[in-house]
Amino acid sequence: MDQKSYVWEQLEERVIFRNRFIGLRNDLVLRPDGQQIEYVVIEGRDFVTVICQTIDGKIILVDAYPYPWQIKTKTTVGGIIDKGETPEEAAIRETEEETGYKVENITFLGKTKISFLNIAWNYLYFAIVKKNNSKPIDSNEIISVSEFSIERVHEIINNGDIIHSSTINAFFLARFYNLIK
């Protein structure tokens, strides 16, 4: 079957909630088989995830406390892409805001969807970074910034201390493409 035969038709957009960060809909749709159903749609905004490696080979992870999760976790750099900003520009901005490190080189790894319900794209990057002697300026969720060996990052993932799927995706894609040395 071609892609067109799988297209669902939106009969009615039913917005439940919408603000500048996220929206929630319960749309009435017509499936390709002719059945009418309701379908929940999360209107997330596109965002970036950046796995950062220092010039001397250490991986940068931040300790974060995302309020909705109610748990402290290690994660990579990431954030929403601002209006008028390219994903790469957002990746560089977020890296500098959240870590205080300067991006020397950046490589696009790919983009993924995070769930069937969410329309947002997650743009994944790998960056070589250099200490900038500035402090991170994002204090909403970031607690601290640390450098780890590649082996230690594997241990942290295996121990379940990294629970953010985008962080794990970015790390293993960078390994797959032999970018992490």
Give the mean pLDDT of 116-120. Answer: 95
Average the pLDDT over 39-53 and give the result.
97
Amino acid type, 148? F
Per-residue pLDDT for 142 more than 80?
A: no
3-state secondary structure (DSSP) of residue 166:
helix
**Residue 68 clears pLDDT 90, i.e. is over it:** no
DSSP β-bridge partners for residue 122: 47, 112
Q: Which architecture, in CATH terms, is 47-176?
A: Alpha-Beta Complex (3.90)
| Antiparallel, parallel or unpaired: β 77-80 and 47-54 | antiparallel
Residue with tokens 């960056």: 127
Beta partners for residue 48, in sequence order: 79, 123
What is the reported pTM? 0.91
The single-letter code of the amino acid at 31 is R
CA dist 53 and 72 (Å) reads: 22
Confidence of residue 65 (pLDDT cuts 50, 70, 90): confident
pLDDT attached to residue 157: 94
Q: How far is CA 53 from the centre of its chain?
A: 17
- Output the pLDDT for position 2: 67
Q: Where do the structural domains in the chain lie, given as residue ranges?
A: 3-42, 47-176
d(CA 138, CA 38): 38
Percent with pLDDT over 90 in the chain: 81
List pLDDT tens digits, range 6-17.
899 999 999 999
